[in-house]
Amino acid sequence: MGRKNLRKIPDTIRQQIDVLGADLLVAAVVVKVAHSSIAAGDMAHIQIRFEDGKVACDREVMPLPSRGRYSKVNVDGKVVKLKNLPKVEKTWYVETPNWGDWSKGSHDVPVTRMVYQRRYIPPRELALLVELLGEEAGAGEATYLFKVSVEEVLDRAAADFEDRLLFDLNLLQENVGNHGVYASTATMADYLRTMYVDWEILPPGEHDANIAKILAGFKGPAQARDKVIERYTFMMSLKPQLTVVGTNSFRRYFGALFADDLVAFENTQYGNAIYVMGGNWQSLSKLSRLELLSHAHAQQQYLARIIHTEGWQDKLRAVLRRELNERGIPR
């Protein structure tokens, strides 16, 4: 489940921090894990398992060094070459045979070279705190929601805040394959809210008011705002049955429903494509923000991803026409 390390703090994390407005933060994430994944031992490295047929987890888990570079440094520490300082002379000894023949014994030969000075950085020994938040029973297998956080509290005013935050985010990345940040005082409800998208029905015919609601909190440049408005206006020209705006703590979506089981939507922050999906739109509100944009989901069929390149409007029309014809809905 581990993923490639983060080389810098993602812009999305910086946006989350701005939205939170808190001085004290923790690196944490909510993950959804399928029953079969736990049974297969995929989460055993952080002690999520089944005991007597029930899901169980340890409250505090030390990341295994084998999970990645940051997990190893967290446990073992590291030695850093100080390349900004002058090299120093270092001598060590190498055992060598007498007269080239080990049967005649051996002796130590000194070897002296100029080397970089080094500094040992001790391990941070940060544990991961694991908490079961709840269980979801669907048509298929059950899934479980876990909160996983790094145990230290980060102070935004501290000189080493960004270094520590990047370290903690990578601990999460290596051990649960995702990362996030929350206020240190966040409640369980706060964590759960970031997992799901809540949909609000927009009143028909109120173009300007709906645009204002969709763009609330939008921090992109004016050009990006204009594109969102243009795409919303085009979507409305297709005369959907219903328009919705969806939010969680850090993302904003708008969607157009053309049938009870046909919806097209996009993310205003990462609006590089329109996603067309089947299924009942109410079920969208039960998806995590990651599942919402995934290419497939057990309860929500992915139909098309239309990138905003030249001719995307015609492609969207064609997809909708095809899907509506299959449903026997005249267009």
> Domain for residue 320, yes or no?
yes
- Do 25 and 101 have their domain in common? no
pLDDT at 318 over 80: yes
Q: Is residue 2 part of a domain?
A: no
Give the pLDDT band (50/70/90) at residue 299. Answer: very low
The mean per-residue pLDDT over the stretch 4-21 comes to 87
d(CA 62, CA 97): 45
Whether residues 24 and 59 share a domain: the answer is yes
Residues 214 and 245 in one domain: yes
pLDDT of residue 248: 61
Q: Pick from 171, 193, 215: which residue ends a domain?
A: 193
More reliable by pLDDT, 112 or 278: 112
pLDDT band, residue 43 (cuts 50/70/90): very high
3 inside domain:
no
Question: Are 135 and 276 in the same domain?
Answer: no
Q: Can you give the residue range of the structural domain that contains 67?
A: 11-74+123-193
Q: Are residues 255 and 171 in the same domain?
A: no
The bridge status of strand 302-307 relative to strand 54-57 is unpaired
What are φ and ψ of residue 175, in 5° steps? -105, -25
Q: Is residue 104 part of a domain?
A: yes
Q: Is residue 68 located within the same domain as residue 82?
A: no
pLDDT of residue 302: 64
pTM over 0.95: no
**Mean pLDDT to the nearest integer, 68-80:** 90
DSSP secondary structure of 246-289: EE-SS-EEEEEEEETTEEEEEESSS-SEEEEEES-HHHHTTSBH
Structure tokens at 267: 């993310």
Query: Is 240 in contact with 257 (CB distance < 8 Å)?
Result: yes
**Residues 130, 223 within the same domain:** no
- Say yes or no: 32 and 149 in one domain: yes
Number of domains in the chain: 3
**Cα–Cα distance, 132 to 47 (Å, whole number):** 12
The answer on pLDDT for 139 being more than 60 is no
Mean pLDDT of the 257-274 span:
78
Q: What are phi and psi of 68, to 5 degrees?
A: 160, 180
pLDDT at 298: 42
Does a structural domain hold residue 4?
Answer: no
* Average of per-residue pLDDT across 207-222: 78
Is the pLDDT reported for residue 41 higher than 70? yes
**Using the 8-state DSSP alphabet, how is residue 329 labeled?**
-
Residue 126: which of 45, 63, 53, 195 has the closest Cα?
Answer: 63
Please compute the mean of the pLDDT values over residues 205-230 and round it to a whole number: 80
pLDDT of res. 301: 62
- Does the residue 246 lie in any domain? yes
Single residue among 158, 193, 228 that ends a domain in this structure: 193
Single residue among 93, 121, 149 that ends a domain in this structure = 121
Q: Which of the pair, 162 or 222, is modelled with greater confidence?
A: 162
Residue 58 sits in the same domain as residue 189: yes
Same domain assignment for residues 170 and 221? no
pLDDT the model gives residue 292: 60
* Residue 269, pLDDT above cutoff 80: no
Quick one: 215 and 280 in the same domain? yes
Percentage above 90 pLDDT, the chain: 37
Residues 103 and 144 grouped into a single domain: no
C-alpha angle 247/250/251, rounded to 5°? Answer: 50
For residue 1, is it within any domain? no
